Structure 1
C-alpha cells in the first residue's frame, strides 16, 4: 500500500524473513511444551485402560480401550470433562451399534456401509454435536472390522474402560487450564492495546491510514476473545471437577468478569475506531481525543495486570474514574464539530466497560460518567 505521495507505508512494508526463522525449531518446541500435559494424559489413560482390560478382564487385545482413551482426550485445548464425556458416549454408541449389527448381519463391505449409516443417523438423532456423530462412526467401523471376541459385547467393555480412564485422568491430571486461559487473555489485551495505539497515532497525526489500521486491529479482536472464552470455560469446568483446582474457582470467576467486559470493551473500541477513521479524513490532528484514548489505553493495561495480581484493580479503577469524570464532549471540545463530539462520546461506554472489568459495580461505573 502506498500513501498519496506514492511512498510505501511503513505499516504495510514487507518484512524480510531469514532462513533461520523458516527452519527454527522453536515453534515445534513450543507446541511440544504446550501439549506436554495432554500427551501425559493420553499416554497414562490409554496404557492404563489397555492394562486394565487385558490383566483384569482377561481380554487378549483390548485395542478399543486404548483408542477410546486417545480419541476422547486428544490434543485439543478444550478439554472440558463434559466434552470428553460427550466424545466417550459417542464412541460407546458406535461400538454398541456395531456389536449389535455384527451379531445380526455379520461383517463385510455392505455390512460396514449399513453400520456407518445406522450409527450416524442414530448419533445425529441423539446429539446435536457433529463431533459426537463422527466419534461414533469411527469406533463403529473399528469395532466391526476387528475380529470378534470370545464373548459378545466384550469390546464395548473395553471402550467403557477407556472412556472411564479418560474422564478420570481429565479430573486427576488436569491440563493446567489456568496457563492456557491466561495466555489467551494476554493475547486479547495485547491486541486491544495495539489497536488503541494505532487509533491514537491516527488521531495525533491526522493520519487516516493509521486510524484505518487501528480499526482493522479492533475488528480482529473477536477471534482472540472467542478463544479466551473457550479456554476459560474449559478451565472452569475442569476446576469444578478436579480436587486440585477447586481453589482457583474464585480467581476464574473474576477472570470471567474481566472477559465479559473486555469483550464489550473491544466492541466499543471498534466504534471509537470507526469514528476516529471518519474524523481524520480531513488530515487534521485531534490531540485532545488522542490524549483521552491514550489514557484509556494505559488504564486498560492495568486491567490486564490485574489478571495476575488483583492488587492492580484499585489503581485501574482510579485511573479510569479520573478519565470518566472528564468525558463530557461539550466541556472537552467546546464549539467542536459534531463528528469530534461523537468521537469523545464513544469513549464513554468503553470506559464504563473497563471500569466493570476492573471490579467496579455496574451502577457505580455508570454514575462515574457525567450526564450529558
Structure 2
C-alpha cells in the first residue's frame, strides 16, 4: 500500500483574504520611512517657499519624496543617484523647452531626449525613469515667466539636498527591519532542516524532497537580509547617530555570509538525503546529526539578539562537529550514507563560523578523514 502524500493543499477561506493584520504590519514597518519622507518634503517646500520666496516650489517636494521613497535600499549613494537623475531630467527639459517650446508634439521629443541622455549617464534603469518623470513635470507645467523657469532647478536642488540631509541626520530605523529579515531566514532554514530530518527518521524520500524544496527557496531571504544590511551599513558610515552600531552590523555581516554558505550546503545535504532514501530505509544516525546541527543553528539565530549566547552556540556546534567522521559513525554503511554525512561537514564549519569561531578553528573542529 503506497503512502499518502506528505503535504496537502490548504484551502484559503474567503475571510482570510480580508485579514487586516498584514496591511497594518506593512504600514507599521513603513513608519520610519514615512516620517523621513514627510520631514524632507516639508522642509524642502518650506525652505524654497519662505526663504527663497518661490511661490509654488513643486519640484522641491516631489524630488524629496521621489528620491527617498519607500524602498528597502535607502543607502545614501542610491539617494544621491536618484537626485542626480531627477536634476538631469529637469535641466535637460528646461533647455529643450527654450528651443522647441511647449505643446503636444514637443512631448515625445523632450521625453526621448531626457531618456537618452540619462542612459548615457548611468546604466541603472531607475536613473533614467527618475529623470523622465521630472522632465514630464517640467514639460506639463511650464513656467509662466522667466523667474519661475529659473527657480525650478533651484527648487529641485533644494529637494535633493533635503533628501540627502535627512538620510544622514534622520536615518531610518534599520534594527527592526534587520531583525525581521534575519528571523525570517533562520525560521525558514529551520523548517527546511526539520523536513529533511523527518525524511531521514521515517525513511521517506518525499519528506527530504520537501526539505530540499524549502532550502532552494531560501535565497530570496538571504538577499533581503543582505540588502537591508548593506543599506544600514552605508548609512552608519556617514551618520554620527549610527556609528556606535557599526560593531553590531559587522557581526551581522559575518553571520549573514556564513549563513549564505550554510544555505548552499544545506541544499547539498537535502539532495543527498533524498537520493539515499530511495530505498525507504530510515537513517536515524544521520537524522540525529542533522538535528543537532539544527539546534546549533537555532542558537546562532538567538545570538543576533544576545551576543552572550555565542560561546554556547560554538560549544554545541563544536561538540557535534567533533564526531562527524562518517566511517566512525557508520562503520558498515554504504558509500551513499557516508556521502550524506560528509555533506554535513561543510555545513558544520559554516555554522561554527557564524557562531564566531575563526575559520581555521572551525575547520580544525572537524576530524580528518
TM-score with structure 2 length normalisation? Answer: 0.97
**Counterpart for residue 242 of structure 1:** 239
Whether 1:359 aligns to 2:356 is yes
Q: Would you identify which runs of 4 or more consecutive aligned residues in structure 1 move more than 6 Å?
A: none
Deviations 1:52-97 (A, max 9, x none): 1111111111111111011111111111111111111100000010
**Counterpart for residue 91 of structure 1:** 86
- For 1:323-334, what aligned pairs fall within 5 Å after superposition? 323-334=320-331
Whether 1:132 aligns to 2:127 is yes
Provide the secondary structure at the position in 2 that maps to 1:308: coil
Give distance in 2, aligned partners of 1:24 and 1:349: 42
**Counterpart for residue 177 of structure 1:** 174
Alignment check: 8 A CA contact 2:102 2:142 kept: no
Provide the secondary structure at the position in 2 that maps to 1:359: coil
Give distance in 1, aligned partners of 2:351 and 2:172: 30
Per mean C-alpha deviation after superposition, the further-off stretch among 132-141 and 15-24 is 15-24
1:370 Cα offset (Å):
0.8
Residue number among 199, 208, 217 corresponding to 2:214 in the alignment:
217
Whether 1:54 aligns to 2:52 is no
Unaligned 5+ segments in structure 2 are none
- For 1:203-352, what aligned pairs fall within 5 Å after superposition? 203-352=200-349
1:51 Cα offset (Å):
1.2
Alignment check: 8 A CA contact 1:65 1:160 kept: yes
Give distance in 1, aligned partners of 2:136 and 2:12: 46
Deviations 1:96-150 (A, max 9, x none): 1011111121112232211111111111111111110100011011112213143
Provide the secondary structure at the position in 2 that maps to 1:109: coil
Alignment check: 8 A CA contact 1:317 1:359 kept: yes
Alignment check: 8 A CA contact 2:40 2:162 kept: yes
How many residues in Structure 1 have an aligned counterpart in Structure 2? Answer: 367
Across the aligned residues of Structure 1 and Structure 2, the Cα RMSD in angstroms comes to 1.2
Unaligned 5+ segments in structure 1 are none
Deviations 1:315-346 (A, max 9, x none): 11111111111111111110211100000000
Alignment check: 8 A CA contact 1:262 1:353 kept: yes
**Counterpart for residue 115 of structure 1:** 110
Alignment check: 8 A CA contact 1:96 1:153 kept: no
Deviations 1:234-280 (A, max 9, x none): 11112122222111000000000000010000000000000000001
Residue number among 150, 159, 163 corresponding to 1:162 in the alignment:
159
**Counterpart for residue 146 of structure 2:** 150
**Counterpart for residue 81 of structure 1:** 76
Provide the secondary structure at the position in 2 that maps to 1:14: coil
Give distance in 1, aligned partners of 2:104 and 2:218: 49
TM-score with structure 1 length normalisation? Answer: 0.96
Provide the secondary structure at the position in 1 that maps to 2:304: helix
Deviations 1:144-168 (A, max 9, x none): 2213143243211111101111111
Deviations 1:259-303 (A, max 9, x none): 001000000000000000000111000000000000000000001
